Amino acid sequence: MSKVVKIKNLSIGGGNRIAIQSMTNTDTLDTDATAAQLKALQIAGCDIARLAVSSEDEVKACKPLICKFDMPLVADIQFDYKLAVMACEIGFDKIRFNPGNIGDENKVKILVDACKAHGVPIRIGVNTGSLEREYIGLPPAEALKKSALKHVALLEKFGFYDIVISVKSSDVKTMIDAYRSLAEEVDYPLHLGVTESGADIRGIVRSAVGIGSLLCDGIGDTVRVSLSGDPINEVEAARLILQESGIDKNYCQIVSCPTCSRCKYDLKALVDELKAATKDIKTPVKLAVMGCVVNGPGEARDADFGVVGGTGGKVAIFAGGKAVKTVDHSEVVPEILRMIEQKSKI
Amino acid sequence: MSKVVKIKNLSIGGGNRIAIQSMTNTDTLDTDATAAQLKALQIAGCDIARLAVSSEDEVKACKPLICKFDMPLVADIQFDYKLAVMACEIGFDKIRFNPGNIGDENKVKILVDACKAHGVPIRIGVNTGSLEREYIGLPPAEALKKSALKHVALLEKFGFYDIVISVKSSDVKTMIDAYRSLAEEVDYPLHLGVTESGADIRGIVRSAVGIGSLLCDGIGDTVRVSLSGDPINEVEAARLILQESGIDKNYCQIVSCPTCSRCKYDLKALVDELKAATKDIKTPVKLAVMGCVVNGPGEARDADFGVVGGTGGKVAIFAGGKAVKTVDHSEVVPEILRMIEQKSKI
């Protein structure tokens, strides 16, 4: 298990809830647009938001945003350590910066001192797309890890350990290998992501494979799904991946069979109805909606509640693994909602 | 690497292309509806289709379908070994049957003899939902593996080795663990799936995590994405998972950045345009669409072609890792298509 790093009022690592991150794509100088996007991200469930900061004016423009939001804000800075120092001073809660890019250890010390003074952790964020020349040619996962460890060593040299690390790639296999290998060597919290994963469903699927498989192996403390487009989609995709990987159980999970010739009712329609009816549930409930008696009772046994199709327009309702009643199709949704409500009261 | 199992004209395992499977959900007795769905599945890219067969009449109804389709057809039979024998005789290309459910070894021998005589492989398909009573209470992944190995041992006892195995669960972590542990013990091809994974995007994400992570580890020879609803969606989701996991490279992969304050053009619109323009490409092309010069040139270097946003309405086009020209936004799509076409001629 990784060590804990505190970012403002949020602790990541050490078995804490996996935090969801995103990044604004408004012009950082346009404070109103950026504030509106940060607000929307927060409402959508974003735990930590990052802003690209490329100039002194941009750092300064962030000051009112930092005051306005409880949500920890991260300054993404590429090469300029002075901007990073300024970001600490102005109140950013974390910076994303690769100290190996500064080229002068005295400057690294100045940055570390600023971070220490202001309690600001640093995320080292290595990407295949911006790997230093010296690592090009190595197997890509190894190159990512070596680059990350070089940056880490620079910070540790100055007694700085408030570190989060990412080793992203747009190639899923590369990022899986890099994170696995990194997790064996360090106990800093890991920030998971597939870079430049594209847009829409493709990007979500690519991220699900990369991020989800690491989370299932117990690797990763915070995630960002990078999608081209509105960053709100990133937050929703991240939540989906956390839920469907089995990491976040605080929702109504509907397990439903794909149906086959054995299914004698419109299961998909019932699933859609139940999905809509249970979408706001924030406690762990597992609901199995099954077509027939082959896998039905077995899945229903593993779920809190089950619906198993029978013949003659009736379905059996299961609770706690036992068939408790038989109802008409029209009664399924209210009956299940009633049972979930009753359960949540216990 | 697993051994090869031949299903009609299709070889799975041993490093062959990962085959995509689906299952009809029409009434098996309604031959017209089933034929139409099989045809649609084949057009969508389904490699192997399965039909639930629950009676002698249903087996007989499949005869004209078997004659009509090149695509291998699989009979899904639950408990009745006589139906399984009949499915072999009538020409099914594979059966899905768990021989441990027969309860009499003489009957297993009769089934094995029929499969041998007709060259029909057997998929042993274990699901959490239909686990035998004796395994309930064990850790779920271990229960799945033990049940599968019991069925395998029964077939091997009669000298039958034309076996494919699945150990599905609706819990992603359980199925990952079960397949990993099974892959260490057997060299039969593995059929991957998350059972009852739900509908729509949730089911796709859950399957992506489970199936994708195993594929990235080199485990799995054929996949089925189980989704409630039209099975065509299963085939499309399977292809998406294979592509985004990096297993199927025969398409135009678009790597695009999530954009941030540094991006000064409408990258998402360009990505959408390029996606539409390249959707029918069936050869491996990697295209990076990047917002700025931070990760842009690096990602473009790893891609066949790259588009990197600059200032003043111009973008740089990369090929083979080098900036080759600067064009207006309106010229990007035709220029990239021209370059892809040129590449495919080489």
Per-residue pLDDT for B346 more than 90?
A: no
Reference A336, options B229, A344, A221, A240; nearest CA is A344
Which whole number is the average pLDDT over B20-33? 96
Instruction: Give the whole-angstrom CA distance, residue A113 versus residue A81.
Output: 12
Please check the confidence at residue B120 and state whether its pLDDT lies above 70: yes
Rg, chain A, Cα only: 24
Q: Does B312 have pLDDT greater than 80? A: no
pLDDT digits (tens, 9 = 90+) for B43-70: 999 999 999 999 999 999 999 999 999 9
Confidence band, pLDDT 50/70/90 cuts, at residue B314: confident
Superfamily of domain covering A5-244: Dihydropteroate synthase-like (3.20.20.20)
pLDDT of res. A218: 96
Cα B228 from Cα A257, distance rounded (Å): 6
A199 reaches B (C-beta below 8 A):
yes
Report CB contact under 8 Å: A261, B205. no
Can you name the CATH fold of B252-345? Sulfite Reductase Hemoprotein; domain 1 (3.30.413)
pLDDT reported for residue B146: 97
CB A25, CB A215: distance < 8 Å:
no
Length of chain B equals 346
Q: Would you call B260 and A52 a contact, using CB atoms and an 8 Å cutoff?
A: yes
Which pLDDT score, from 0 to 100, does residue A343 have? 83
Question: Is there a common fold for A5-244 and A252-345?
Answer: no
In the sheet with A285-290, reading across from the earlier edge strand, the strands are A252-256, A285-290, A305-309, A314-319, A322-328
Give the pLDDT confidence score for residue A165 in this predicted structure.
98
Residue segments in chain A with a per-residue pLDDT below the cut of 50? none
Domain segments of chain A as ranges: 5-244, 252-345
Closest CA to B307 of B278, B272, B333, B338: B333
A191 with A165: CB under 8 angstroms?
A: yes
Please indicate whether, in this complex, the C-beta atoms of B241 and A205 are within 8 angstroms of each other: yes
Q: Which residue of A has its CA nearest to B270?
A: A228
How far apart (Å, rounded) are the C-alpha atoms in residues A266 and A258? 11
3-state secondary structure of B56: helix
Across the interface, do B258 and A206 touch by the CB < 8 Å criterion? Answer: no
Confidence of residue B334 (pLDDT cuts 50, 70, 90): very high
pTM equals 0.91
**Tens digits of residue pLDDT in B173-231:** 999 999 999 999 999 999 999 987 677 899 999 999 999 999 999 999 999 999 988 99
Alpha helices in A19-80 (DSSP H): 31-44, 56-61, 63-68
How far is the alpha carbon of B153 from chain A, nearest alpha carbon, in Å?
Answer: 23
Q: Indicate the pLDDT class of residue B330, thresholds 50, 70 and 90.
A: confident
pLDDT of residue B322: 86
pLDDT tens, A165-178? 999 998 999 999 99
Residue B200: C-alpha distances to residues A240, A345, B180, B225 (Å): 12, 31, 27, 11
Are A246 and B141 in contact, with CB atoms under 8 Å apart? Answer: no
Main-chain dihedrals φ then ψ at residue B162, nearest 5 degrees: -85, 70
Q: Nearest by CB to B198, which of A130, A209, A255?
A: A255
Q: How far apart are CA A214 and CA A191, in angstroms?
A: 11
Among candidates B170, B244, B245 on the partner chain, residue whose Cβ is nearest the Cβ of A299: B170
The answer to whether the CB atoms of A205 and B202 lie below 8 A apart is no
Pair A253, B205: CB distance under 8 Å: no
Q: Please report the pLDDT score of residue B92 as a whole number.
A: 98
**Contact (CB, 8 A) for B305 and B319:** yes
Quote the CA–CA distance of B186 and B179 in Å, as a whole number.
Answer: 10
